[in-house]
Amino acid sequence: MIMFSPEIAEDDITEYSALVESGNADEALESFLESYIVPMSQRFSTFLQNRVSLAGDLLTAAKEKKIKIEISSAMTGFKDAYTNIYSQFVNDIYGDAVMTSLDVTSPQVREFIKKDTIAKFIENTEQRLAETDIKIRTTIREMQQELIRNERDLTKFENMAGVLDSDVAAFKEELYARLQERVPDFYKMAEDGNFIEYSDGTMVGIDTYNEMATRTTVLNVERNSVMMQDAMDGNRIAVYYLRDDRPVKKEREICQEILADEFYGESLIAYDEDAASLFDIWTVDEAMAEGAMGVNCRHSVRQLSEENQNRVDSLLFLAESEAS
Ligand SMILES: [Zn+2]
């Protein structure tokens, strides 16, 4: 089976750690993506492409089964290596430095945030890969069924009286066009290497998806730290903002909705429902349920400016005194 580097090399750990400690955590993340996540995902994608391409010819049942098994075990190997180096990056290189810069000092809180970030990443990866495995199997099956149909139709055509060689050649082209029309996903996989399907049917490459998923989920360390800090300070509202301005393939609508509304120059998001309804804004939980701060989102939360913190606190205080 194919090999993936199961851990980050000693030299790279030293280099990334130095970057992170000098305040360049984002640079360390980019370098990690470029040296590990992207090449590893590309190798995996090439392997899948090779295997799926075999289904472009009619296969025996045994051969089809063998290909599917090889794909599933490669998925498992990839998942293990991918989640392993991700955990290593968050645990040993990135997490503590980011939390130090945000003044999160409690060892228990730090452990919790790192664990939570990794757990969410693994959950997302497992789900994505399981869906992709099913998608590939279905596509291989559909392709095989269409090839059988083509074979049958071709035999029928060839046995018709007065059929010329040139007619057969033209008919073969028709059959090929029919394949492309009926199993478009096969060609997206075998020719373009696009294996990951979004809910709207768009398909992207594994390297593109993993780079984005790694980058956006690593941000959870920072988001969780801010939220934890807010919780300890008793803050009920935070600022929602664009943390990373590189474009994403599929921006979440929820983010645009939150950002459209501003309170003295800052877009607000609430930790509790009462604060949310008083300011007519989203709660963090509601927003996350709509995909905010998940994969494909480069927005994050930060604490309010001092001025706005004072404004928000007085309004919340007034509302509370009126209520009682
Ligand atoms: Zn977003």
Report how far ligand 1's centroid is from the alpha carbon of 82 (Å). Answer: 24
Rounded CA-CA distance 284/271 in Å is 6
Residue 96 has pLDDT above 60, yes or no: yes
What pLDDT shows up at residue 144? Answer: 98
Q: What average pLDDT does range 92-100 have in this prediction?
A: 92
Residue 324 has pLDDT above 90, yes or no: no
Per the prediction, the chain carries an average pLDDT of 93
What pLDDT shows up at residue 3? Answer: 61
pLDDT tens for 50-64 read 999 999 999 999 999
Q: Do 300 and 306 meet the contact criterion of CB atoms below 8 Å apart? A: no
Residue 92 has pLDDT above 70, yes or no: yes
Report how far ligand 1's centroid is from the alpha carbon of 296 (Å). Answer: 7
Residue 31 has pLDDT above 70, yes or no: yes
Report how far ligand 1's centroid is from the alpha carbon of 252 (Å). Answer: 5
Q: Confidence band (pLDDT; 50, 70, 90) for 2?
A: low
Report how far ligand 1's centroid is from the alpha carbon of 284 (Å). Answer: 12
Amino acid at 227: M
Distance of CA 8 to the CA centre of its chain: 21
What pLDDT shows up at residue 201? Answer: 87
What pLDDT shows up at residue 158? Answer: 94
Residue 186 has pLDDT above 80, yes or no: yes
Report how far ligand 1's centroid is from the alpha carbon of 234 (Å). Answer: 25
Q: Do 124 and 213 meet the contact criterion of CB atoms below 8 Å apart? A: yes
Rounded CA-CA distance 223/95 in Å is 12
Report how far ligand 1's centroid is from the alpha carbon of 123 (Å). Answer: 20
Q: Where are the alpha helices (DSSP H) in 164-205?
A: 165-182, 184-190
pLDDT tens for 271-321 read 999 999 999 999 999 999 998 998 888 899 999 999 999 999 999 999 888
Q: Bridge partners of 194?
A: 205
Q: What average pLDDT does range 86-91 have in this prediction?
A: 96
Residue 248 has pLDDT above 70, yes or no: no
Rounded CA-CA distance 299/189 in Å is 31
What pLDDT shows up at residue 6? Answer: 80
Report how far ligand 1's centroid is from the alpha carbon of 132 (Å). Answer: 24
Q: Are strands 299-302 and 237-242 parallel, antiparallel or unpaired?
A: antiparallel
What pLDDT shows up at residue 316? Answer: 93
Report how far ligand 1's centroid is from the alpha carbon of 85 (Å). Answer: 25
Report how far ligand 1's centroid is from the alpha carbon of 293 (Å). Answer: 6
Report how far ligand 1's centroid is from the alpha carbon of 315 (Å). Answer: 27
* CA atoms 304, 214, 84, 31: torsion sign: negative
Q: Where are the alpha helices (DSSP H) in 24-106?
A: 25-32, 38-53, 61-88, 95-101
Report how far ligand 1's centroid is from the alpha carbon of 249 (Å). Answer: 11
pTM of the model: 0.86
Report how far ligand 1's centroid is from the alpha carbon of 104 (Å). Answer: 24
Report how far ligand 1's centroid is from the alpha carbon of 246 (Å). Answer: 11
Residue 76 has pLDDT above 80, yes or no: yes
SS3 199: coil
Report how far ligand 1's centroid is from the alpha carbon of 322 (Å). Answer: 35
pLDDT tens for 129-174 read 999 999 999 999 999 999 999 999 999 999 999 999 999 999 999 9
Q: Do 206 and 194 meet the contact criterion of CB atoms below 8 Å apart? A: no
Query: Maximum distance among all alpha carbons in the chain?
Result: 94
Report how far ligand 1's centroid is from the alpha carbon of 258 (Å). Answer: 9
Nearest to 229 by CA among 92, 91, 106, 95: 106
Report how far ligand 1's centroid is from the alpha carbon of 321 (Å). Answer: 35
Q: Do 41 and 118 meet the contact criterion of CB atoms below 8 Å apart? A: no
Report how far ligand 1's centroid is from the alpha carbon of 98 (Å). Answer: 20
Residue 29 has pLDDT above 70, yes or no: yes
Q: What average pLDDT does range 91-95 have in this prediction?
A: 94
- Lowest-confidence pick of 66-70, 232-236, 295-299: 295-299
What number of H helices and E strands is found in the chain? 13, 5
SS3 147: helix
